[in-house]
Every structure is written in structure tokens, then in C-alpha cells.
A and B are shown apart, each in its own frame.
Chain A
Amino acid sequence: MSASHITKKLAVLSGLLLAPGVALADYALNMTQGVTEISNDIYDLHQLVMWICTIAGILVFTVMIYSLINHRKSKGAVAAQFHESATVEVVWTVIPLAVLVAIAVPATGVLLDIEDPSKSDVTIQVTGWQWKWQYNYRDEDLSFFSSLAADSNEARQLDADPSLKVKADNYLLNVDKPIVVPVNKKVRLLLTSNDVIHAWWVPEFAVKRDAIPGYINESHFTATKTGIYRGQCAELCGKDHGFMPIVVKVVEQAEYNAWIKSEKAAIAAAAGDSNKTFTHDELMAKGETVYKANCAACHQADGSGGGPFPGLIGSKVATTGSIEEHLKLIIVGKGIMPPFGAQLSDADIAAVTTYERNAWGNNTGDTVQPVAAKAAR
């Protein structure tokens, strides 16, 4: 451990003793101020309440410590026998009440700003899935999934090489496909879930809202600074709850418009893939990518499964069973396996089916083309 590292550690320890709110370079001790008006208001409110508590604590503890030092038998203190005093008791009931009112008034103001349903510029539907997010730009007919970046995913495996975490770009806080929103525009989020409850949280926007199956929750933010903002799922949603981050890119309006355009072009291109014929090798390569991003979380990268998740090596569905059934299973799901029909294209489904039927020694030799996936829907 280098000397500077030790000094830093000491600095943290002394930081623990100092009043909270002291910011130290690497060690975030306090809440972020964030990049929206509301996140700033919340930060101010947090500071207010924290300082009120700190001061109240110092007052109470000072009296107590004074008493502990001076009113001890070893110093010859003789116990007074007073007790009950209506005046004292009324005073110490009324003072906390007054302090609470002083907190409640600004808190009410901020809350009403947060729950403001007025018109927004961009509306994104956010759907939680075990364990990824789906974003649907309501005005643009644009929808995609966003899951943990591949390098983080590799590094977070139980037997992974420890250096991978350091090499990974923003370990655990990076996704394969971030959402993009314009700066200084009110973005409305409509949150729901496809399976269990998740919560969409980006600290810099001070937005944390549950995504609940059967409900559509609303929230909004207006980012005032361009940049990349990261968050995580905040409600326990099962095995990989810790591995479904959120990344939001806030950009200038023009850049946003360009991004929308290129996304739409890409979708149009992918739609064409449904009728294309691929070689076996192309399908295997694409299939492996799709498998790692969508299937490996449960069935494992080596197809071995584990716990309630069946292994796919030599399994009936992936070898001797019919291709049709295999496709159907992927499209509609089964038990706790979610349906992938909505999130994967025909080409993706065909590729991953091909991959599962040939990887890990399954060697069926089958090649499944997108038209077959389209027909199985």
C-alpha cells in the first residue's frame, strides 16, 4: 500500500469523525446534487434535514456527556431525586414539533414539484424485465432492450479473473445500449414491468420509481447538463438484481434527432433480415452473441444450467426435439423463463436456435433460418 493511499485512508477515518457533508476526493460521502432542478432541491432538503439532525444530536449528546462526566458517583455526586415536571415536558414536546413543521413545509413544496404531471417533450416507456430494461420511445416507434455490458458481465462471474473488473468500462454500471435524451427537455417516463417489481433509479436525476406489473407509473426529469448518467435497479427482482444497470446519455437536441434517425434506419435494416438466408457460420456467430446477452444469465455461458434453470447440453429441446418446438419455447417462454418473442428479431431467434443446437457438443448440424422463426410466431 503506497503512502498516499494510507494518507487517504486516514483522511477517510478522520472524515468519519468530522461532521457529515465533507466531500473527499475519491470517497463520495454525500448525496449527489445531480443535474436537474428537482435533484438540486432534494439535495438542499437533504442538507437541511441532516444538519437539523446533526445539531439536535450535538445538543442532546452534549448534555448527556456533560452529565456522564460530572454526575458520577466516583466524583462524589449525590443523586437528586427530582422527577416529573410539566413545564419541561411540554417544552420538549413542543420544540421537536416546531422543528418538524420547519422540515415539512419545504418538503411539501418539493414533493408537489416532483408530482407535476404537466406536458413533456419526450415520452419513454420503461419496462423492467428479469434482468434488463426495455425502452420504448412512444412518439418515435422506437423500442429496444438495454442490458449489462458484455465486459462487465464477464467480469462479474464467480470464477472470473479479478483484473477484468478494472479493465471493464464502468464495471457494473455500463450497458450494451444506453438511452439517449435531449438536454433541457422534460422527459416523461412511463414505468411498468413484465415480470416482478423493479425500480428505475438514476441518482443524478433524483428519479427512483417502481416498475410494477399491471401498473403504469409516471415520473419525469429535465436534465440541464449534457453527459452520461448511470444508475441501477433499486428493487430486489431476483437473482441478477445487481446486474441490470441504467445508462442515460443526455445530448443536444440536434444530436438527439440524428440518433433517432439512425436508430430507425437500423430497425428497417433488421426487418429486412427476416427474409434473408444466412450461412451456418454466420448464424452461429450471431447466435453466440444473442445467447450471451439473453440466455447465459440462467442457462450459463457453457450451457450447463444450474438450480431451477435446466442445462442445455444434450437436452431434449436442443437436440432431438423438433426445431419448431425449440423456436416456440424461445418465443413464448415457459414457467419462469420469459417470452423472448417481443425482444428478439426473427434473425436473432433463428441464430440463437442454431447456436443452441450446435454448441457445447450438441452438434445436431441443424441450420435454422429467420423464415422459420417468423413462421413459428
Chain B
Amino acid sequence: MSDHPTGIKRWLFTTNHKDIGTMYLWFAFTMLFIGGAMAMVIRAELFQPGMQVVNPNFFNMMTTLHGLIMVFGAIMPAMVGFANWQVPLMIGAPDMALPRMNNWSFWILPFAAIMLVAPMFIGGDFMAGQGPAFGWTFYEPLSGQYDKLAFFIFAVHLLGFSSIMGSINIIATILNMRAPGMTLMKMPLFVWTWLITAFLLIAVMPVLAGVVTMMLTDKHFGTSFFDAAGGGDPVLFQHVFWFFGHPEVYIMILPAFGIVSQIIPTFARKPLFGYASMVYATAAIAFLSFIVWAHHMFTVGMPAAGELYFMYATVMIAVPTAVKVFNWVATMWKGSMTFEVPMLWSIAFVFLFTIGGFTGLMLGVVPVDFQYHDTYFVVAHFHYVLVTGSLFAIIAGVYYWLPKWTGHMFDIRLSKIHFWVSAISVNILFFPQHFLGLAGMPRRIPDYALQFTEFNQISSIGAFIFGGTQLLFLYIIIKCIKGGDKVSDEVWEDAKGLEWEVPSPAPYHTHATPPTVK
């Protein structure tokens, strides 16, 4: 069993789900820092009114690449990393169903990332900003004005290939490789959320590929899908984009729901309150996510009937979302809670994600969205759901499973500092943005009128603290990999699930003979 290659070849040619999971997670972590550095540039420029740090085009390039890198480079690959590590461990499978494809889905990613940022470095003048600067939503016709569009389009194509292959693999693994006795309704919730997420990915990634291909032919082969002058329709772009884009936001949050649904029962020492209703709520959210896309486009001038329909469908999502929150709270209720670090992050998740859910509901109410749309209020909303939602769940998951992966307990004192500083600073960073939006500050502007100064300053200070603190996270992880107190197989007192039955650290091959689930 120990004849696998070592050194660089181990990582290049590996088909082992744990190696691939590790690579996904490190890739995501790297991207988190690159995207994070861009966010620091944005917040530095917005610290004061006036232009101090970069020019407007460079600023737009920062917001664009920050969004794209965080979505496609950090959050999504981190979730796939968890799936790789945990799905086989949690369902009692020896590995993923399609290990070679698994290797390929990972190794596409670094090339996609390079393709995405490469145009930044073309030409002598870095500050001239040759990279994409049209927003992560790349609306036509603005994006069509950009002369290095093909880089962006092929990067998106590569990301799509990677995601689709990854999803096929996850679905095949979950449907075919569960240990005897593990029926679908006995699967851990993390596995369920990823199964549903994988179907979402397979459904919408081709749509994304389609829309960028249409852009490519518009730009280089004389078609006019989105060019009004040639009889095309710029609004069509937005419909197609958001048909991908709205499910995409759930692709980023459903696995996060899964992670916290594993962690809360462990530390409340109580089973998840409504397992079945959690599964149904996840499926309901996934279904609804396909029929609400135009809530991102209320100002394009849809007929009133269309606006009403999309409003009703959108606010409906609040129901299964509320069911989830109620379930987490009911799981804590009358539990016997302890507050280990993963639990701290999960509790913060429940609080802060809920705030993001509320602002989502507010944004869904069309007449008021006319005031909120494209302001900092939207920016605050999606950072509450994505940073204090998806990212917090990812960090919770890392702290939860890291001891299993490394065999060591992380530095608890430092990790508590990491938690408290992050949880406080993230609110200093994003809460004032609600006020900025309501007071009328548009999003995606590099400079602002003087009345917005104070809240921007508060927000920037929060950003620098939050950003800086993540370096501590890096240090904690490296320290934990290098050594630390040995942990038991169970790691957390009374933790339930197959992953806690294998040794710590999890050996290179696990569940070679399938365990039996009662």
C-alpha cells in the first residue's frame, strides 16, 4: 500500500481523495489571500473620499477580480475540498468513484486562475490595469468593450469543466459507494447538501459556459446575441447570467448548511432536530433557486406581472431558509452545549447568516429594491451570507475536521483569538455598509460624496483587522500540521459519524472494507 509516489509526483499524479482534498483546500486558501489582498486595495481606496491609491479603472479591476476569485477560486474549491476529504469518510467509501477524473478536475483550476489574472500583467504599465474591469457579473455590452475578453472567457470555461467533473464525481460517489446499510435518509447532512449542490452545478454550469460562448462569438465572430445595434438583446445576457447566478449563490451556501448541521449536534450533544425537514428544506431551496433569477434585475424594466411573480417566488425562499434556522436553534435547545472552536464559528454563522437572510427578504420586495438595488445595502447583504455564511462555515469545518486530518489538536488559545477578532471585525466591516446603502451610496464606485466618509472609514478599519486576522488562521493551520497534542479517533467527545471511527490522523487509505451502518 505504501508504493505511491512521493514528492511533487505524489501531488501531480495522485488519485487519492485525501490528497486531492488537501490540494483543493490549499488552492482555496491561496485564492482567499489573493482575493483578500484585492479587497484591502478596495478598502484602502475607499478609506477617504477622493482618489488616493489607484485609478478608477484599476479599482474596477480590483472589484471584478476580487469577486471572481472569491466565488470561483476560494469558496467553491474549498467546498469541493471538503467533499473530497469528507464524503468518502462519512459514507464509508474507500475513495471517490472516479479518482482519475478527480485529479483532472483539480489540476484544471490553477490554470484557470492564471488565465483569469494573466491580463493584469500584460503590457508595461501595471497601474494601467489591463485585467477585466466589468464586475464579477460581466454584464454585456460593457464586458464586450474589453479587448482581452477571451482570457476571461476561457478561464470561465475551464472553471466550468472542473466544476462539472467534480460534481459528476460527487454524485457517482454518493449514489454508488455508500456503506451497506447507509440508506439515503441515513446520510449525514453534509453529504445530502453536497448531493443537491452537485446537481445544481451540473444544471447551471453549462448555462454559464453558454453565455460566455455567446460573448465570445459576439466579440470575435460577428454574431449579435447581446448587441442591440445588430438586433441582439443586452437584457438577454442578464437573464441567462442570473439563471446561472442565482443557483450559484446556493451552490456556495448549501454545503455550508451541511457543515454547520454536522457541527451543532456534536457540541449540543443532541441529534439534529428535524433531519428529514432539513433535507426537504435543502431540496426546496434548490428547486426555488431556479425560478427566482430575475430578482437581480428588477430595474431592467420588466412588465409589472413579471416583477410581481419574481417577488413572490423570491420571498418564498425565506420559508425553507427560516426552517433551517429554526432547526439549528431547536437542536441547541435543551442540549448540553460546549463551545469548542468549531461550535463558536457555527453559532456565529447562525446569527450572522440570519441577518443576511433578512436583508435578502427585504431585497426581494420589488418596490423597495428600487431603492436598495446596486447600493452598498446589496453589498452588505451578500457579504453577510457569503462571508459570515459560507466562509465562516468553511472555517468552522476546517477547525472541526483538521484534527482528524492531521492527528493533532490545533492551538486552542490562538484559535479562540482568531474567532473573536474575526467575529467582531467582520461586523465592523460589513454592518455600516447597510447604512451606506440606505443613505444612497451606489456600489462599485471608487470615490464618494463627503457624507459617506465616516461609515466608509469604520468599514475599512474593520476590513484591515478582519483581513489581517486571517494570517493568524494560516499560522494556526501550519502549526497544527507540524505538531500538537495527539487527538483520539473520536476527536470530539461523543462525536457521531463514520469519519470519527477511522484512526486520527486518517490513514492514506480508509474504509478499505466497508463498515456496516445499522
The residues of A with any CB-CB pair to B shorter than 8 Å are 9, 12, 16, 20, 26-32, 38, 41-42, 45-46, 49-50, 53, 56-57, 60-61, 63-64, 67-68, 71-74, 77-85, 88-89, 92-93, 96-97, 100, 103-104, 107-108, 110-112, 114-115, 155-158, 160, 162, 165-166, 170-173, 195-197, 199, 201, 203, 206-210, 212-215, 217-218, 231-243, 306-308, 336
Contacts and interface: CB of A to CB of B under 8 A. Distances in A.
A31 B450 contact: no
Interface string B475-506: 00000000000000000000000000000000
Nearest to A198: B142
Nearest to A114: B367
18 contacts: A12-B454, A31-B371, A60-B326, A61-B354, A67-B332, A80-B334, A82-B334, A84-B275, A115-B304, A156-B447, A196-B142, A203-B371, A215-B234, A218-B301, A232-B442, A236-B134, A236-B139, A243-B56
Given A28-B435, A28-B438, A49-B361, A156 B50 contact: yes
A17 B9 CA distance: 54
A93 B60 contact: no
B172 to A, nearest CB: 31
B455 interface: yes
A77 B337 contact: yes
B111 interface: no
B397 interface: no
B359 to A, nearest CB: 8
A314 B290 CA distance: 56
A71 B334 contact: yes
A236 B234 contact: no
9 shortest interchain CB distances as A-B pairs: A214-B228, A242-B445, A28-B439, A53-B358, A217-B301, A79-B336, A115-B304, A79-B269, A80-B334
B283 interface: no
Contact of B335 (A50, A79, A171, A307): A79
Interface stretch (B87-95, B211-219, B305-313): B305-313
A111 B458 CA distance: 35
A104 B315 contact: yes
A308 B129 CA distance: 10
Most buried by B among A61, A71, A155, A156: A71
B22 interface: no
B319 interface: yes
B145 to A, nearest CB: 5
B270 interface: yes
B374 A93 contact: no
Nearest to B57: A239
Contacts of A218: 301
Given A60-B325, A96-B318, A104-B311, A160 B235 contact: no
Interface in B332-377: 332-339, 347, 350-351, 354-355, 358-359, 361-362, 365-368, 370-371, 373-375
B370 A114 contact: yes
Contacts of A85: 274
Contacts of A32: 439-440
B279 to A, nearest CB: 12
Contacts of B17: none
B272 interface: yes
Contact of B332 (A64, A165, A172, A213): A64
Contacts of A237: 142
A165 B272 contact: no
Given A29-B439, A83-B331, A236-B139, 12 more contacts: A28-B439, A31-B438, A38-B367, A42-B367, A71-B336, A73-B337, A79-B268, A103-B315, A111-B304, A157-B51, A171-B49, A196-B141
Contact of A158 (B55, B232, B271, B325): B55
Nearest to B369: A208
B255 interface: no
B237 to A, nearest CB: 9
Contacts of B319: 93, 96-97, 100
B472 interface: no
B323 interface: yes
A294 B232 CA distance: 29
B160 to A, nearest CB: 24
Given A96-B322, A214-B234, A234-B442, A107 B449 contact: no
